[in-house]
Amino acid sequence: MKPLILASASPRRFEILKQLGLEFTVDPSSIEETGLEAPAKEWPLLFAEMKAKDVSLRNPDSIVLGCDTLVFNEGTPLGKPKTREEAFSMLQTLNGRSHQVRSGVAFAYGGEVLKSKTEETEVFFRNNDPQDLLEYVNSLEPMDKAGAYGIQGRGASLVKSIQGCYYNVVGLPVSTTLDLLKEVEKFLCP
């Protein structure tokens, strides 16, 4: 099997891959996540492909996994909040409603993207008290998370239910990732 590289510095993606027992190294992509000339719902897949290709060009003999996750509220992407005020505003927008979490997963080898796919999960927030939202923001947990919450941490208290892949909401859809990896390995090592 070819070496596997995660093109992300995300501690959540790192932990998920470790939990799965995969052997890999980390080499974060230097791709800037700025607006693209494409519909916003396509951004996670496009960024995942760009990240995988970027790191693959530096490591042409390795399989490179790129991933990107965004939270969408009524079609509008919500990135990572820059301030506590922005985090609180995002959480208020999501409160008592449903939203979508979209992740793009891409595998590259030799500087070319071989397989990629998008995963979407619907998340339903509880009708949380504003004071509870403020306490969550003050914990600082939301500050490095798309949509200003982490379902795998204290943010779980904000969520009523989900429809789809839990790990997608964390940042790496497990089933999709494993299925694509298997296809790539079959292609490279028939």
Q: Which residues have a catalytic role annotated?
A: 68
User: CB within 8 A of 61, min separation 6: which ones?
Assistant: 2, 3, 110
Type of residue at 76 = T
CA distance 135 to 99: 22
In angstroms, what CA-CA distances link 34 with 31, 112, 153? 9, 21, 27
Which residue from 34, 30, 67 is spatially nearest to 181, judged by alpha carbons? 67
Tell me the three state secondary structure of residue 121.
strand
Q: How many CA atoms lie within 13 A of 69 on its CB side?
A: 26
User: What helix, strand, coil percent values describe the chain, rounded to 5?
Assistant: 40, 25, 30
Q: Which string of DSSP letters, residue by residue, matches 22-59?
A: ---EE----------SS-GGGHHHHHHHHHHHHHHHH-
